Amino acid sequence: MRLSLDLLDIMHASPVIPVIAIEDIDHAVPLAKALLAGGIRVLEITLRTSHGMAAIRAIAEQVPRAIVGVGTLTYGAQFSAARDAGAVFGVSPGLTAALIAAAKSSGLPLLPGVMTPSEVLAAREAGFHQLKLFPAVPAGGIGMLNAIAGPLPDVTFCPTGGISQETAAKFLACKNVTCVGGSWLTPRKAIQAGDWAHITTLAAAASALRPMSGE
């Protein structure tokens, strides 16, 4: 059964959304189960490898409690393919007219990437109020998020790029941050070794994150 959630509900479902690149399709389902066992339900499966779509389909079919999204959307044609594979939301590194049109026609909720205040304004004018600050740390990190919060209080963010277990809570303390994205939950060596217990431990630590006092 296909999940039907709006983007803000999805962002509230987990303090951390792991950014996942599947290099071996056989790893997709056990990885998803390991993350879910640690309390991380929202998964962004990127299209950075050739196994992305197949991994989305496998997880959607075999791990029904997971909220599966598709990442690294850069072409309009990817939206309908990802939706048909079982993705219930999409994430892009930026926002173009073609991506806006594809998001609307496919019905796939999109979390688009922005880096500057002008890009935030453009995304908001296009109807997007939940955005991904990307790459978060090079874009100004916590300082940028706090600066944007004043003039643009109706926009919420999932900062992604350069965030770690050690810094995630400080990002979560920003009043305009709902969740963060990161790849530290899925270290390549642990996946290749099939060390799912280690990934569950990382996921449990991430799911327990609470905001720290801001800087």
What does the pLDDT look like over 54-108, one tens digit per residue? 999 999 999 999 999 999 999 999 999 999 999 999 999 999 999 999 999 999 9
Which of 44, 61, 125, 175 is flagged as catalytic?
Answer: 44
| Position 203 in a domain | yes
> In the chain, how many domains are there?
1
Active site residue 125: no
Contact 17, 32 (CB under 8 A): no
With CA atoms as reference, report the closest residue to 80 among 70, 68, 95.
Answer: 70
Confidence of residue 4 (pLDDT cuts 50, 70, 90): low
Confidence of residue 210 (pLDDT cuts 50, 70, 90): confident
Which of 33, 132, 189, 215 is flagged as catalytic?
Answer: 132
Average of per-residue pLDDT across 123-142 = 97
| Position 56 in a domain | yes
CATH of the domain at 89: 3.20.20.70
Task: Mark 110-123 as b/e (b = at least 16 C-beta within 10 Å).
Answer: bbbbbbeeebbeeb
Confidence of residue 212 (pLDDT cuts 50, 70, 90): low
The secondary structure element, H or E, covering residue 171 is helix 168-172
DSSP 24: S
| Position 214 in a domain | no
pTM value is 0.95
| Position 120 in a domain | yes
Q: What is the pLDDT of residues 144-178, one digit of tens each?
A: 999 999 999 999 999 999 999 999 999 999 999 99
| Position 2 in a domain | no
Residue 215 has pLDDT above 50, yes or no: no
Active site residue 132: yes
| Position 215 in a domain | no
| Position 82 in a domain | yes
The Cα–Cα gap between 52 and 58 comes to 10
Residue 88, domain extent: 7-207
